[in-house]
C-alpha cells in the first residue's frame, strides 16, 4: 500500500473535522447535546491550522503563492473567531439554537476555505516542500501537539 501523501492526509483531516461538527449538530437535532464530538473537532481544527501556518504556508509563500496564502491566513482568523465563540457558548451553557447557528457558520466557513486549499495550495505541496519539511510535517501529523496558548497569525486579539 502506498504511503499516504501529505495532501491526502490534510484533506482527510478536513473531512474528519467536518464529520465531528456534523455528528454534534445531528445529535443536537435529535435532542442529544453531548459536546464531545464538537470539542474534539475544534481541537483538531486548531491543530490543523497550526500545522498549516507553521510548516506549510511559509514555503508556499516563498514559492510565490503570496496572495492565496494571505487569503488563507485571513480566513483562519475568521474561523478561529467562530471557534472561540463556540467554546464560549458551550462553557456558558448557551441555548442550543445559538450553538447550532455557530456550528452552521463554522461549517460554511470551512466549506469555502477547504475547497480553496484543496484546489490551489495542496496540489503544490509536492513541488514546494523540501524532504525535511515534508518529514517534519508527517511526524507532526502523527503525534504533534498544538503549543499551549498558540494563536493563529490573524486571530482576533
Binding site for Fe ion (CB under 5 A): 52, 117
Nearer to Fe ion, 65 or 94 (CB): 65
Task: Name which of 12 and 104 has its Cβ closer to Fe ion.
Answer: 12
Least spacing, CB of residue 155 vs Fe ion, in Å: 13
Nearer to Fe ion, 104 or 119 (CB): 119
Smallest distance from Fe ion to CB 44, Å? 11
Pair 144, 113: CB distance under 8 Å: no
CB of 127: closest distance to Fe ion in angstroms? 18
Q: Find all residues with CB under 8 Å of 29, minimum gap 6, and list them.
A: 100
Residues contacting 94, CB < 8 A, separation 6+: 88
Query: In this structure, what are the phi and psi dihedrals at residue 2, rounded to the nearest 5 degrees?
Result: -70, 150
Amino acid at each position: 500500500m502506498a504511503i499516504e501523501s501529505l495532501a491526502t492526509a490534510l484533506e482527510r483531516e478536513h473531512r474528519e473535522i467536518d464529520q465531528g461538527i456534523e455528528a454534534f449538530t445531528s445529535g443536537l437535532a435529535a435532542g442529544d447535546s453531548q459536546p464531545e464530538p464538537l470539542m474534539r473537532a475544534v481541537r483538531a481544527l486548531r491543530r490543523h491550522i497550526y500545522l498549516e501556518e507553521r510548516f506549510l504556508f511559509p514555503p508556499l509563500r516563498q514559492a510565490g503563492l503570496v496572495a492565496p496564502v494571505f487569503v488563507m491566513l485571513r480566513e483562519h482568523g475568521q474561523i478561529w473567531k467562530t471557534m472561540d465563540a463556540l467554546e464560549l457558548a458551550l462553557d456558558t451553557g448557551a441555548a442550543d439554537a445559538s450553538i447550532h447557528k455557530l456550528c452552521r457558520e463554522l461549517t460554511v466557513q470551512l466549506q469555502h476555505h477547504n475547497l480553496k486549499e484543496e484546489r490551489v495550495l495542496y496540489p503544490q505541496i509536492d513541488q514546494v516542500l523540501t524532504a525535511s519539511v515534508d518529514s517534519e510535517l508527517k511526524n507532526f501529523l502523527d503525534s504533534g501537539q498544538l503549543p499551549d496558548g498558540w494563536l493563529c497569525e490573524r486571530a482576533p486579539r
